[in-house]
Structure 1
Amino acid sequence: MHMLEQFLWIIVPYVCIVIFIVGHIFRYRTDQFSWTAKSSEFIEKKQLMIGSILFHLGIIPVIMGHIVGLFIPKSWMHFFGVNDHMYHIGAVYVGGFFGLATLLGMIILTSRRFTLQSVRRLSTVSDLVVNVLLLFIVFMGMYATLFTNAVQPEFDYRETISIWFRGLFMLSPDPSLMRTVPVSFQIHALTGFAIFAFWPFSRLVHVWSVPLNYVGRSYILYRRHKSN
């Protein structure tokens, strides 16, 4: 068990982090022009619009919630007046709402990619893998948040997962902290690192291609060709 814990909660996370960093550097240096995602909007628009709106509406608050829960110690939350009950309400109900929106969006987007033959023909293997993996990660997150927390209300991931996670970045992870973590949370954590390892080799890199140079522009210049 000790060796397995070392492998799952130290080796795997660090390998995924290294692949994420080195993979992005390699991809940018060798194939940066493929970073933007191919659009399938011209093939089917309605499901894409609904799925994308739900996914992006939910994923940003979900990410922010993960950042707060994993990076901010429990004692700090108490210092700022956020007790355990208030945090639990926010994590379960607010987090559950945005998590559900993210899940519904992923279900629509994944179904669209697999069931519409024209969209599937445009998809690569990495596109299909990313969709399925993201859907599974979001599903496990929702399952852990709503069902595992209901069955094991005494479990507080801020006393186990969060401390282990911060230990990774301080180069002193304690794998024993993950020993008593429910399986649903363990799977969610491992698949989360897996998507980071897969990230540089998929279209997920397009999230780094936000055209920030357009922010702040108050006009768009159109040119009209004059006929002779």
Structure 2
Amino acid sequence: MNWLDHFVWVIFPYLCVAVFVVGHIFRFRYDQFHWTAKSSEFIEKKQLMVGSLLFHIGILPVIMGHIAGLGIPKEWMESMGVNEHVYHIGAVYIGGLFGVITLAGMLLLTTRRLTKRTIRQLSTTSDLIVNVMLLFIVFMGVFSTLVTTNVQPEFDYRETISVWFRNLFLFQPDASLMSEVPLSFKMHVVAGFLIFAFWPFSRLVHVWSVPLNYVRRSYILYRKHRQQSVRR
């Protein structure tokens, strides 16, 4: 294991998590005014609606799949009756389907932001970077799932990436587990940690702004004003 592997698979993940936490604290304390997604719906609505719908439909199952694949050991899955064949079907076909849906939505949203002149002028540099990074991450995830796993069927990320990932939380990361991981998976993992580091300084912070106060907020009543005619 060389110094680069040690940095990428041991030091870099912790740096990204540290920036993620400290950056959010700093942003919340000193820059709440810009804690917003700055909607561009008033400029173009149709492509935004379709792209956003596809992205959000796909990303939730994808996140759940990552939690299951990375967080639950392979042995636990098998003890619950989920053997290798069943897991492969769920990860590749079901996960791949939602990954493609997420990719389609992200492609629409990124194309919209880059090609619509008024939207591009409204966007900040961080907005453009976030869109491109998310598109790249989703693309590499779909490519790894649908292409790499078929080209290299002997590779099992649950015995390498998943073990390495869980060991990060135990503060016992083993960089050697990532040595034989295909390049596409490595790029997906590195880009994923990188966007976590970039998260606090971008529009992604709006994810945490859940409007829970609307649940107990009173309804706003609108009444039509009728102008009374004046008799002469």
TM interval, shorter chain, is over 0.9
**Any residues of structure 2 matched to 1:178-197 within 5 Å, and which?**
178-197=178-197
Q: Give the counterpart letter for 2:137 in structure 1.
A: I
| Alpha-carbon offset, residue 214 of structure 1 | 2.5
The Cα offsets for residues 168-226 of structure 1, whole Å up to 9 and x where unpaired, read as: 11100100000000000000000000000000000000000011222477x72325487
CA RMSD of superposed structures (Å): 1.5
TM-score, normalised via structure 2 length: 0.94
| Map of 2:3 onto structure 1 | 3
Distance 2:226 2:86 in 1: 67
| Map of 2:209 onto structure 1 | 209
1:92 aligns with 2:92: yes
| Map of 1:152 onto structure 2 | 152
- Deviating above 6 A after TM superposition, structure 1's stretches of 4 or more consecutive aligned residues are 225-228
The Cα offsets for residues 127-178 of structure 1, whole Å up to 9 and x where unpaired, read as: 0000000000000000000000000111110000000001111100100000
Identity %: 67
Structure 2: gaps spanning 5 or more residues? 228-232
| Alpha-carbon offset, residue 3 of structure 1 | 1.1
| Map of 1:81 onto structure 2 | 81
Q: Give the counterpart letter for 2:221 in structure 1.
A: Y
**Which stretch of structure 1 is more off in the superposition, 177-186 or 33-42?**
33-42
Matched residue pairs, number? 227
Q: Give the counterpart letter for 2:45 in structure 1.
A: K
Q: Give the counterpart letter for 1:175 in structure 2.
A: A
The Cα offsets for residues 63-89 of structure 1, whole Å up to 9 and x where unpaired, read as: 010000011000110111111110000
Distance 2:52 2:154 in 1: 35
Local SS of the residue matching 2:31: helix
| Map of 1:135 onto structure 2 | 135
TM-score, normalised via structure 1 length: 0.96
Distance 1:181 1:151 in 2: 13
Distance 1:77 1:220 in 2: 47
Q: Give the counterpart letter for 1:154 in structure 2.
A: E
Distance 2:71 2:24 in 1: 24
1:222 aligns with 2:232: no
Structure 1: gaps spanning 5 or more residues? none
Distance 2:65 2:125 in 1: 31
| Alpha-carbon offset, residue 27 of structure 1 | 0.3
Distance 2:223 2:24 in 1: 40
